[in-house]
Amino acid sequence: MASAVLLIVVCVAVVNAGYVWVEEEDDAPPGYKRFQQEFPKNPDPVKFKPFVFKPFKPITFKPFEPITFKPIDINYKPGEGETYVAQSHSTHSESSNVNGVEKNSGGSTAMLNINGDTEKEAVEFRDDPKNAKEEEDDE
């Protein structure tokens, strides 16, 4: 009884799945039938309303106060019970190429103040074509 119910359920499932037996001649071995699934026809295309972008308000930020630093007082001497350390490094460089004549220059400055003991060092360089010609002549 259970096998008969199972067989009926399988047959109903196969029919509901859309499988049909094809009786046509094909490359199947003699005596065997192939099955084929029937798919529904292509539905009509779905039409959408055109999408219109609405203008939006851009995000704006409130301006903020600029950050300013007090210059280092290289001559500052701390008072009694006070310690003071200040350090500053600054570099610059520049280059130009005017009518094929290249010029380069730059430099660096370092300042240090530790409890009133100060040091300052500066280094500069120039790569001037006139100087380069003189250096070549010296060699």
CB atoms within 10 A of CB 133: 9
SS3 6: helix
Task: For 116-139, write each residue's pLDDT tens digit.
Answer: 888 999 999 888 656 555 555 555
Pairing of strands 85-98, 117-127: unpaired
What integer pLDDT is reported at residue 138 of this predicted model? Answer: 53
CA distance 49 to 21: 43
The tens digit of pLDDT for each residue in 41-61 reads: 787 888 888 888 888 888 888
Q: Say what the pLDDT of residue 121 is.
A: 93
Using DSSP bridges, classify how beta strands 85-98 and 101-114 pair: parallel, antiparallel or unpaired: antiparallel
Mean pLDDT of 103-113: 90
Q: How confident is the model at residue 66 (pLDDT cuts 50, 70, 90)?
A: confident
Domain boundaries, the chain: 2-37, 85-138
Does the pTM surpass 0.75? The reply is no
